[in-house]
Amino acid sequence: MSEAVIPAEALVPRLATGRQKLFRRVLKNPMAVVSLVILALVVLSAVFAGQITGWDPGRADLNDALAPPFGEHLLGADASGRDVLARLYFGARVSLVGALIALSTALAIGIPTGLIAGYFQGWFDSLSSWFASLLMAMPGLIVVLALISVIGPGMVGVMVTFGALLSPGVFRLTRSGVVSVRRELYIDAAKVSGLSDYRIISRHVLGVIRAPLVIQASMIAGIAIVLQAGLEFLGVGDSSTASWGQMLSEAFTNIYVAPTMILWPGLIIGITVGSLAIFGAALRDTVQGAEPVRRVRRRSLPVEEKATTRRLDLSTAATAAVIAPRDGGHEDLEPNDALLVVRDLRVGYPQQDGSETIVVDGVSLHVDRGEVLGLVGESGSGKSQTAFSILGLLPDTGAILGGAISFAGRTIASADGQARGAAALRGRQFGYIPQEPMSNLDPSFTLGFQLVEPMRHILGLSRPAAKTKALELLDRVGIADPRRTFDAYPHEVSGGMAQRVLIAGAVACDPELLIADEPTTALDVTVQAEVLDLLRGLQRERKMAMIMVTHNFGVVADICDRVAVMQAGRLVEQAEALELFDDPHNPYTRMLLSSTLEDTEPRAARSSHATSSRGTAR
Amino acid sequence: MATFLLRRLGAAVVLVFVIATMTFLLMSMTGGDPARNILGDGATVEQVAAKSAELGLDQPLAVRYADWLGAAITGDFGRSWFTNEPVMTSLANKFPVSLSVVVVAILVTALLSAILGVTAAVKRGWIDRFVQMFAVLGFALPNFWVALILVTVFAVNLKLLPATGFVPFATDPVRWLLGLILPVTALVVGTIASTAQQVRGATIDVLRQDYVRTLRSRGISHRSLLFRHVLRNAAPPALTVLSLQFVGLLGGAIIIEKIFALPGIGSLAVNATLQGDLPQILGLVVVMVVLVVIVNLVIDLLTGWLNPKARVS
């Protein structure tokens, strides 16, 4: 997924989020507003309880005992003849103050310890992390009960204890937030420019964890309200003042006489705690951004790569339209027996506001049997998206919006969604080699299992036969000790070995078309050449057609028969490889070529600096 | 795998020891005069002193701690200050009831939240929205209130299920199960809501992994991909959540037991709390923590079995 283009607008608000902006964006979320209004009403009714109701919550009048609702008492009266509504108003005080105490305690313990542990690490980090997991293993209610037996049922003590028991959540959140931030370059910059630790923490670190902390806080407040009501319900709470839990407890005693009495306190607890939860969820959604955008971009990229992607976005790269492509949009040379034909392919990602982000626009190309086509372009040019469209493996949020793809004369994909043949061809006729070897192997299964499983499924081989074949394949792709590798898990082999295993997997069921998505980019320079040799050898001996997706003209020169150059979702030039090197027509191609070939060692061009140690390291 | 197991076991023992010690010290250092508490205001000073001596409360803290710990290791938590019954005996009587409820609840939670969470992650659409809404609802509604509603509707009004009482499994499995339906339902509404949400998140995370796409490119069937690869990789985070739910359920059961009049640890815990019955509470806490530690250990082992990487780290 290195190529998915994400519209610039989707990134900008995230990067530029400030305190004011986040708050304003939260207020645009109707769920957040409704929950905040409800919470404000609960707080206000607790504060002004004495003013809104004329009833004294403690005044019992046996004549009114169990009076029905909507009479003199709006919500009726309880078994002792006390006004239910008044007791709800006043009970809110207990719940809110209790929640506040628990929350303050959790934050007061969790934030400083989390900051220190995450920022300075060392022994304090180990100790406090261990202590946090210890607290989390304690059954909270039992601990609180044990404590009440010693210190008595005073609310402050109980809620402080409970806050302490909930502090590990805050601690962990703060700590992990700090740990992730402290490696960022701007923290280093702040250190270099002489800012004190205190300034760095308060300026940069707290800013990052603010939103997650508010979410966590709303959860803690909710849990605290429920727990306190639970203690009151058990009868071990502070019974001197009206509270929601106490009301539930009394309603329970009269459950056979007046069953509706249990409704009101439960509902008010549910509404209050629910509002806290909804507010937390709304805030989380606001911070994380809308779903579809997140799904297109799976992993956050380093900042500089984001910049590249943004620059190459269709809307900004208008140059593509101006330049007339040599063979670009048309397939004049398409022979009748072409193995794969892509015609006018258009791929896009529908956005929330109804617009579409087009990542591939009108691409037409073909691959003959036994031919190697290079698909070249910068990051974000749409070459990987083209490859995934052929494989039928676009993300759920992406779709083929125009054009058609056919394989061996049969249409396998079209815009109307009628033709869906790619699934049946995957593994059988299509082999796929990904870019990043380590993330493309299932960490929970042995390499051998991941080779054997498709062979059993597709070729119908028995387990021993598939294993024999897998060992042969591992030997063929140049693995020194196939048996050992067969039994190894992905984390036990090097990147270069993992890529060889993936190549073995791609050719295992004798596909006719191999699609390699930057197969050497993530590898060490010395390994790159070997893997490329291996691919060329396999392609020739099995007479496979191949699409080599790459940004590297060194790779193209090494292995490709023909080249298609893509820029910003469009095909700008298509030619025989030698012809293209001799006489590139398109200025963009010339630019790409010169940026690659100026280096004396073409193959090492771009990746050498980025991945110098990978491949051999475990 | 053996070292992994031994290390986890060692950590578990240390954890139990530390919590037991902390609880003992906390409870012994604070609080007024337990002997006066037991005998009431009418007792003479001599009587109180005699009681203190009888309970060993006149000894220095270190001696009391050493005595208690020495006995506790052999499974002897002393006798209740109020009923004089050995703590272990009352725990042995009450725990099976509570464990019935909690274990059935955790199994139901695991099963239903796995189904709900995975379906929501794979199908999205209305079931996904339902799981999200359910998560808020389950968080907001206290389980004891859900229990009260269930009692009112199903036991008091419809008279479909028993409102109270517990029949041991050995006596009558069918009535045992019928008696558990309402308490377990009340408990699992909250746990399923949050666990299903976590399962959903974990599944979506795995579905977005590169290796899932590569596995699909190999022509592996959708079923095999989901049940073999996705579930296995999504399981460890879900199991962690489940172990936290277990801790929560132990507390939740105490309240639920009051409503359904189940003779479990709930009444024991509440009475011991109200009376300040130190040995009883200490025994309760230690046994609970041992339970939690065992469950965490099992979850750790399961995670290690599912995820080869966890075995090394």
In the block, residue with structure tokens 């031994």? B6
Residues 526-585 of A with CB under 8 A from B: none
CATH number at residue A110: 1.10.3720.10
Q: Is residue A499 part of a domain?
A: no
**pLDDT-derived band of residue B84, with 50, 70 and 90 as boundaries?**
confident
The two beta strands, A340-350 and A430-433, are unpaired
Q: Is residue A559 part of a domain?
A: yes
* A277 closest CB neighbour out of B140, B208, B213: B140
Q: Would you say residue B253 has pLDDT above 60?
A: yes
- Which parts of A461-519 fold into alpha helices (H)? 463-476, 482-487, 495-507
Q: Is B280 exposed, middle or buried (0-12, 13-18, 19+ CB in 10 A)?
A: buried
Any chain B CB within 8 A of the CB of A230? yes
Condensed to tens digits (0 to 9), the pLDDT of residues B97-111 reads 899 899 999 999 999
Residues A105, A98 contacting (CB under 8 angstroms) = no
Task: Identify whether residues A586 and A531 lie together within a single domain.
Answer: yes
The residues, ordered by sequence, that sit 6+ positions from B215 with a Cβ below 8 Å of its Cβ are: A442, A450, B225, B229
The residues, ordered by sequence, that sit 6+ positions from A44 with a Cβ below 8 Å of its Cβ are: none
Task: Identify whether residues A119 and A268 lie together within a single domain.
Answer: yes
Residues A559, A378 contacting (CB under 8 angstroms) = no
**CA A268 to CA A96: how far, in whole Å?**
12
pLDDT value at residue A209:
80
How much is the CA Rg of chain B, to the nearest whole Å? 24
pLDDT value at residue A313:
37
Closest-CA distance of chain B to residue A537, Å: 21
Closest-CA distance of chain B to residue A259, Å: 7
Any chain A CB within 8 A of the CB of B219? yes
In the block, residue with structure tokens 């905040």? A36
Residues B183, B260 contacting (CB under 8 angstroms) = yes
CA neighbor of A243 nearest in space, from A253, A228, A255, A258: A228
CATH number at residue A392: 3.40.50.300
Task: Identify whether residues A261 and A345 lie together within a single domain.
Answer: no
* A230 closest CB neighbour out of B139, B142, B307: B142
Mean pLDDT split into 10-residue runs, chain A, 618 residues:
36 44 78 89 85 72 70 71 80 89 94 87 86 81 81 82 90 85 75 76 75 87 90 79 84 80 88 90 74 36 33 35 40 64 89 82 90 88 90 86 87 75 85 91 92 91 93 91 93 90 91 91 84 90 92 86 90 87 83 66 38 35
How crowded is residue A178: how many other Cβ atoms within 10 Å of its Cβ? 24
Residues A55, A73 contacting (CB under 8 angstroms) = yes
A151 with B30: Cβ contact below 8 A: yes
**At A358, phi and psi to the nearest 5?**
-85, 125
B140 with A259: Cβ contact below 8 A: no
**pLDDT-derived band of residue B186, with 50, 70 and 90 as boundaries?**
very high
Helix axes B265-275, B231-259, angle to 10 degrees: 60
Locate the chain A residue with the closest alpha carbon to B135. Answer: A277
pLDDT value at residue A245:
86
Residues 238-297 of A with CB under 8 A from B: 248, 251-252, 255-256, 259, 262, 265-266, 269-271, 273-274, 277-278, 281, 295
B270 with A505: Cβ contact below 8 A: no
Residues B48, B35 contacting (CB under 8 angstroms) = yes
User: Per the structure block, which two tokens stand in for B19?
Assistant: 């919590």
A454 with B23: Cβ contact below 8 A: no
Task: Identify whether residues A123 and A43 lie together within a single domain.
Answer: yes
Q: What is the sign, positive or negative, of the torsion defined by CA atoms of B296, B301, B302, B306?
A: positive
Task: Identify whether residues A261 and A342 lie together within a single domain.
Answer: no
A281 with B233: Cβ contact below 8 A: no
A1 with B137: Cβ contact below 8 A: no
Task: Identify whether residues A262 and A328 lie together within a single domain.
Answer: no
The secondary structure of residue A341, as a DSSP letter, is: E
pLDDT value at residue A139:
79
Any chain B CB within 8 A of the CB of A402? no
Number of domain units in chain A:
2
* B210 closest CB neighbour out of A1, A148, A427: A1
Give the angle A13-A14-A19 at the CA atoms, nearest 5°: 85
A229 contact residues in B (CB cutoff 8 A): 142, 144
| ipTM above threshold 0.90 | no
Closest-CA distance of chain A to residue B310, Å: 10
B288 contact residues in A (CB cutoff 8 A): 139, 142
**CA B150 to CA A262: how far, in whole Å?**
11
Domain range enclosing A352? 321-429+511-595
CA neighbor of B256 nearest in space, from B101, B138, B110, B96: B101
Give the angle A257-A262-A263 at the CA atoms, nearest 5°: 125
Locate the chain A residue with the closest alpha carbon to B285. Answer: A142
B214 contact residues in A (CB cutoff 8 A): 432, 434, 440-441, 502, 505
In the block, residue with structure tokens 């002792």? A80
A430 contact residues in B (CB cutoff 8 A): 217
Q: Please report, for residues A82, A255, A257, A442, the alpha-carbon distance to residue A65 in angstroms, rounded to integers and kept in the order given.
A: 7, 14, 11, 66
Q: Is residue A521 part of a domain?
A: yes
Task: Identify whether residues A282 and A327 lie together within a single domain.
Answer: no
In the block, residue with structure tokens 């030997």? A475
CA neighbor of A327 nearest in space, from A22, A563, A601, A43: A563
Residues A171, A114 contacting (CB under 8 angstroms) = yes
B19 with A138: Cβ contact below 8 A: yes
Task: Identify whether residues A275 and A332 lie together within a single domain.
Answer: no
Task: Identify whether residues A274 and A373 lie together within a single domain.
Answer: no
From A250, A269, A291, the end of a domain falls on A291
The amino acid that residue A591 corresponds to is M
Task: Identify whether residues A395 and A517 lie together within a single domain.
Answer: yes
Residue B56 — left, alpha, or beta (φ > 0 → left; ψ -120 to 50 → alpha)?
left
**CA A595 to CA B301: how far, in whole Å?**
53
- Which parts of chain B fold into alpha helices (H)? 2-29, 34-39, 45-55, 61-73, 87-123, 125-140, 143-150, 173-207, 210-217, 222-224, 231-259, 265-275, 278-306, 308-312
Q: Please report, for residues A259, A282, A356, B132, B194, the alpha-carbon distance to residue A242 in angstroms, rounded to integers and kept in the order given.
A: 20, 32, 57, 34, 30
Whole-number mean pLDDT of chain B? Answer: 86
Task: Identify whether residues A168 and A256 lie together within a single domain.
Answer: yes
B148 contact residues in A (CB cutoff 8 A): 248, 251-252, 255, 262, 266
pLDDT value at residue A19:
54
Task: Identify whether residues A156 and A265 lie together within a single domain.
Answer: yes
pLDDT value at residue A304:
34
**CA A351 to CA A339: how far, in whole Å?**
34
CA neighbor of A45 nearest in space, from A82, A3, A92, A1: A92
Q: Is residue A125 part of a domain?
A: yes
Residues A296, A4 contacting (CB under 8 angstroms) = yes
Q: Is residue A3 part of a domain?
A: no
* B217 closest CB neighbour out of A252, A278, A391: A391
Burial B109-146 (b: 16+ CB within 10 A, else e): bbeebbebbbbbbbeeeeebeebbebbbbbbbbbbbbb
A502 contact residues in B (CB cutoff 8 A): 214
**CA A154 to CA A158: how far, in whole Å?**
6
Q: Is residue A486 part of a domain?
A: no
Q: From the candidates A31, A149, A549, which should be mutated to test the interface with B, based on the most B CB atoms within 10 A?
A: A149
Q: Is residue A575 part of a domain?
A: yes
- Residue A245, helix vs strand vs coil: helix
The two beta strands, A570-576 and A513-517, are unpaired
**CA B236 to CA B310: how far, in whole Å?**
10
**pLDDT-derived band of residue B258, with 50, 70 and 90 as boundaries?**
confident
A233 contact residues in B (CB cutoff 8 A): 144, 255, 258
Residues A182, A155 contacting (CB under 8 angstroms) = no
Any chain A CB within 8 A of the CB of B281? yes
Closest-CA distance of chain B to residue A528, Å: 20
Any chain B CB within 8 A of the CB of A233? yes
Q: Is A399 exposed, middle or buried (0-12, 13-18, 19+ CB in 10 A)?
A: middle
* A269 closest CB neighbour out of B145, B210, B258: B145
Q: Is residue A469 part of a domain?
A: no
Any chain B CB within 8 A of the CB of A150? yes
**At A59, phi and psi to the nearest 5?**
-80, 115
